Amino acid sequence: MVIFLSFIQKLLKGIQFFRNTKEHPIYYLFYFHCVHGITGLYAMERYNEEGCVWKYSYEWKIIYPKKGKHLKHISAWGNELHEDEETRKEFIVAFTPHHHHIPGYRRARKENWDVWTLEETFEFVAYYIQSGKEYKP
């Protein structure tokens, strides 16, 4: 774990985090991964009046080589409401709003008890980048 944390510190060195009052969209580029190629993390966070994250979406994607919308998806995490009246039937699930998108079939969701913050997302992705393992849930 110490190795991964030092990897994350190197990864984050020089990145300045900023927050506006509404949302924080940003891409973080990662080192080359021997299976996935050059990958990146798209992070979108929305904040409440107190400055706390109330809605998030983190997407680990293949940046290069270029692939189609569904093929570039490695993994994603979010907390959109599942029972919102605007949610389509195939997206409604019976667990807390924290969910994980299935690699290879982004529409499918499963419960997520591990990755709820940007820092936890970095820790998760760092393991696969450093080890060179392909992510397969």
What residues have CB less than 8 Å from 101, skipping those under 6 apart? 59, 73, 75, 76, 77, 78, 107, 108, 109
Owning domain of residue 77: 2-131
How many independent structural domains does the chain possess? 1
User: Does a structural domain hold residue 136?
Assistant: no
Whether 137 is covered by a domain: the verdict is: no
Query: What pLDDT was estimated at residue 120?
Result: 92
Give me the tens of pLDDT residue by residue for the chain, a chain 137 residues long: 344 445 555 555 544 444 455 666 677 777 788 888 888 888 888 888 888 888 888 989 888 887 776 678 888 888 876 666 666 666 666 666 677 776 766 667 777 778 888 899 989 998 998 899 998 87
